[in-house]
């Protein structure tokens, strides 16, 4: 859904946001998915050095949000209204997780995204997360 040029254009707004703080980076994608990575660092982990479930949710909501953003017009915004997560395995400090968001439903008033997060080191599924976004006119 995003080319490298589009990601580069969005980079300034990402740097000073939660994305920048957590190290979330969007990756180019040539299909209908939104992809991103996040390192497992002190900022994204909990003792004893494993990925915090809240950081996984932040990655999932970010990818789903950018997914909705990519299909909406300029006067429309998407706002997360529901998240359901299953945390299946752990990712450890020093690892990087990869998130892939796939659209399940793209409607006029709601978008539903399935986000699977895997460990780059082990290839194992870490979390499977469903995100529902509400679509609204933001009146710009």
User: For residue 36, what are its two tokens?
Assistant: 């991103």
Helix, strand and coil percent figures for the chain, each rounded to 5: 25, 45, 30
**Catalytic residue selected from 5, 25, 61, 120:** 61
Is the distance from CB of 23 to CB of 97 less than 8 angstroms? no
Assess whether 61 carries a catalytic annotation: yes
Which H helix or E strand runs over 53? helix 53-71
Tell me if 92 sits within 8 A of 35, measured CB to CB: no
| Residues forming the active site | 61
């Amino acid at each position: 859904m995003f080319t490298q040029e589009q990601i580069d254009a969005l980079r300034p707004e990402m740097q000073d946001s939660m994305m920048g703080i957590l190290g979330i980076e969007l990756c180019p994608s040539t299909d209908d998915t939104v992809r991103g990575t996040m390192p497992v660092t002190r900022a994204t982990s909990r003792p004893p050095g494993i990925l915090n479930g809240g950081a996984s949710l932040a990655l999932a909501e970010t990818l789903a949000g950018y997914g909705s953003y990519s299909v909406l017009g300029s006067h429309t915004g998407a706002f997360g209204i529901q998240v359901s997560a299953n945390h299946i395995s752990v990712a450890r400090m020093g690892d990087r997780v990869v998130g892939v968001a796939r659209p399940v439903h793209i409607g006029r008033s709601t978008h539903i995204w399935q986000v699977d997060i895997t460990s780059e080191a082990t290839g194992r599924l870490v979390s499977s997360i469903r995100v529902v976004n509400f679509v609204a006119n933001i009146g710009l």
